[in-house]
Structure 1
Amino acid sequence: MNTPSHRSLVYLGWLGHQNFGDDLLHATWQRALDRPLDCIAPLHRRDYARSPLKFLAQRFRMRGSERLVLLGGGTTIGFDSWAYHLGTAARAFGAAGAVVPGAGAAESTDAHALGLQRTNWPAWRALTRTALLGVRGPLTAAECAQHWRPTEVLGDPALLYPLLMEPRPRPLRRTTIGVCVGSDPTSRFDPAVVARAVESFAAERGLESVTVFRLSPDDRDAVDALVDQFSLPVRTVAYTGDIDTVMREIGACSAFVSERLHGAVASVALGVPTVPLSYASKCDDFWLSVTGSRSPVTVGHSEDELLQAMRAASADASILAVRSRVVELQEKLQRSVALLRNWLAGDLDTSKLMNDEVRP
């Protein structure tokens, strides 16, 4: 067996864009593994050439170690670009293989997602030195079983993050409702319809204000358009790199409506009644993992549909059911973390991890 100093991870993810979801995944793995994960694989071959000294310095720090590439999550499985990124990172860093815990895939019927990126399942099947520890949700599990290999549902890795935060007392009375809209490349939801439903729910619950979250710089126009629709007092929380502050702001909400996937993941993990605005299959994939059903609110929804979904999500039975399922997924994710920690410590043989001999 290798000693701990002879095992290293190369992190692969969409970093450096001030995107809350991608940064949240990276931070989750860092805290869960108690590792800085500061060796970040570039996403393009040209990036290796543009920063050769940085790349060589990373390789030098890892000299003499056995390496694996860790794909942090996100909707990556099945896409041609991410198969390329995984293969390139493994070759460039001399990795023994790759580990994929909790990532997602687009459903084969998802015209929106598949119009943005091209799938290439043969390229994923060619990644023979890849340990698939589990996936984000049942839609991804079905796609993997059909096109790649069977696996189980682990849940989104970011569900672990609240367990890793420094505990802070929650507000005694939560008087605001949180809303997050996104752009991929633009919001697919009518801000006026969303605002009317949110204000109707706020009036029913005696809530005093709305907190609108901007979780990516790309969302500025969508957020501005939504803010203009409210008559209630509105404050905006923009993610600028401080994950814990945003998480605590989400945790202070009495309910949360989110178009951004990881806005919904964060609020569910924090125990906040949540309604995802489902604009692509990745939203349903996650929602199925925690509720067993697809999101009831999709593109073109009515004010009443969103209002009814918010009422249902805030019912005690729904809150308890989601919480129970989140705990189950957190336990599965923690077993994946334990596998990686054991590998890093030299207590788990790489060949067993790569050959599917151990699983969470």
Structure 2
Amino acid sequence: MASYARRRLAPAEATLRYVRAGSGTIRYLGWLGHQNLGDEAVHQAAARYLAPGTLAWRPERVPSPFGGVAGRLTHTMTMLGGGTLLGGRYIDDFVAAPREQRAVFGSGVIDPAFPHSYRGGAGSLDRWVDAIRDIPVLGVRGPRSQEILAERGVAAEVIGDPVAAYVCPEGHWDPVERTIGLNVGQSNGAVWGSELSLLAGIADSIRALVADGWSVEYYVVWPGDLEVTRMIARDTGTANAPIHTIYVDPEEFLLRSRHLTAFVGLKLHAVALATCAGVPSASIEYHPKCRDFMASIGLDRLVVRSDEISGPAVGELVARLVAEGPAISAAARDRLTDLRALQQAAASRLVALARG
């Protein structure tokens, strides 16, 4: 996985890898190839649990020279990967596999309470519920995902986000005093409240942190967030602060964040990976998936919703991260380690099914 983790694969090369993997592999469904660190990290995490060459991902757009061969490949299992995919895309690919060959590995469920959940069609969640009923491996990201399915008569196990595979051992976190990591970005308006108000609240929070003597470092995990990050940095007088751009390599994120005193982030997997690095972290819940993850590790008290963000609200979270830092880091590490064990068990079941 190392060479893949350092760069983005072109569609032709990705398809060639898929064809070379051949039949008899486990097909992975997920949004890859777009330099989104979260999606790349959950795919690489899933691959860690399996033997090399076991997991095969087929690009959504297969170049014409490979179309015929790729279309004829068969798989022993089809795995829905991490991300909030239960209720969204990939349903046709998922149901193409026989029910006994379907698996869900740490996916999140769209939340009907979120006004932007049904951009893909209001009936999509019902169709997914039917597709996952009585499948052999059904592990979801967090307790809210589990609750939504239970309300619809489907029992699922919480195994956590697959990035739990990256939880670092005690001692990895080596903080420099009063250095905070920040992740900001945009989501095309799909947030609790107004995205403009959210960005204004984030800017106010950063100004307050700088006034309180904090050094700021920015972490960008998707190219679409880079310009917003630069704008926020200019507007808050932190234009000279480091901006780390990490799009495909989760291990690079773990190394570049280990010195932080604390981390506050918008995007789910920026927060998740900072937590895996041992950094006491808080989440700005722009989307219910953020709280779902934090609840899965018992830290949903360290969440502020995007329509409630303000300088004082973030300041209170940061004060808690500092005051309880070692305890928060240890509790997160213990819970992530437990989730990793559950994921290893789910992966073992999946492999046994794939082997028949």
- Fold conserved (TM > 0.5)? yes
User: Would you identify which runs of 4 or more consecutive aligned residues in structure 1 move more than 6 Å?
Assistant: none
Q: 1:267 aligns with which of 266, 274, 290?
A: 274
Deviations 1:282-323 (A, max 9, x none): 111111111263653112311101110122233143333333
Change (3 A) 1:305 1:210: same
Change (3 A) 1:120 1:172: closer
Change (3 A) 1:216 1:312: same
Question: Are positions 1:155 and 2:160 aligned together?
Answer: yes
Per the alignment, residue 225 of structure 1 pairs with 231
Per the alignment, residue 293 of structure 2 pairs with 286
Cα distance in 1 for partners of 2:320, 2:123 equals 36
The CA RMSD over aligned residues, in Å, is 3.1
Cα distance in 1 for partners of 2:330, 2:173 equals 18
Question: Are positions 1:250 and 2:257 aligned together?
Answer: yes
Q: Which amino acid aligns with 2:332?
A: V
Question: Are positions 1:215 and 2:221 aligned together?
Answer: yes
Deviation of 1:162 after TM superposition, in Å, equals 3.8
Paired residues, what number? 325
Identity of aligned residues (%): 24
Structure 2 gap segments, 5+ residues each: 1-21
**Contact 2:41-2:249 at 8 Å conserved across structures:** no
Structure 1 gap segments, 5+ residues each: 350-360
**Contact 2:298-2:332 at 8 Å conserved across structures:** yes
**Contact 1:183-1:219 at 8 Å conserved across structures:** yes
Question: Are positions 1:70 and 2:74 aligned together?
Answer: no
Secondary structure, aligned partner of 1:212: strand
Q: Counterparts in 2 of 1:79-158, with a 5 A limit?
A: 79=88, 81-88=89-96, 90=97, 97-115=101-119, 118-127=122-131, 130-147=135-152, 149-158=154-163
Secondary structure, aligned partner of 1:330: helix
Per the alignment, residue 352 of structure 1 pairs with none
Deviation of 1:24 after TM superposition, in Å, equals 0.5
Question: Are positions 1:177 and 2:194 aligned together?
Answer: no
Q: Which amino acid aligns with 1:183?
A: Q
Secondary structure, aligned partner of 1:331: helix
Per the alignment, residue 31 of structure 1 pairs with 48
Cα distance in 2 for partners of 1:168, 1:268 equals 13
Cα distance in 2 for partners of 1:176, 1:42 equals 39
Deviation of 1:324 after TM superposition, in Å, equals 2.7
Secondary structure, aligned partner of 2:279: coil
Q: Which amino acid aligns with 1:242?
A: D
Deviations 1:243-262 (A, max 9, x none): 32223213332211111111
Secondary structure, aligned partner of 1:39: strand
Deviation of 1:343 after TM superposition, in Å, equals 3.9
Cα distance in 2 for partners of 1:171, 1:202 equals 21
Per the alignment, residue 318 of structure 1 pairs with 328
Q: Give me the TM-score of the superposition, normalised by structure 1.
A: 0.78
Deviation of 1:334 after TM superposition, in Å, equals 1.9
Cα distance in 2 for partners of 1:157, 1:85 equals 21
Q: Give me the TM-score of the superposition, normalised by structure 2.
A: 0.79
Q: Which amino acid aligns with 1:73?
A: G
Deviation of 1:180 after TM superposition, in Å, equals 0.9
Change (3 A) 1:291 1:171: closer
Cα distance in 2 for partners of 1:227, 1:215 equals 16
Question: Are positions 1:333 and 2:343 aligned together?
Answer: yes
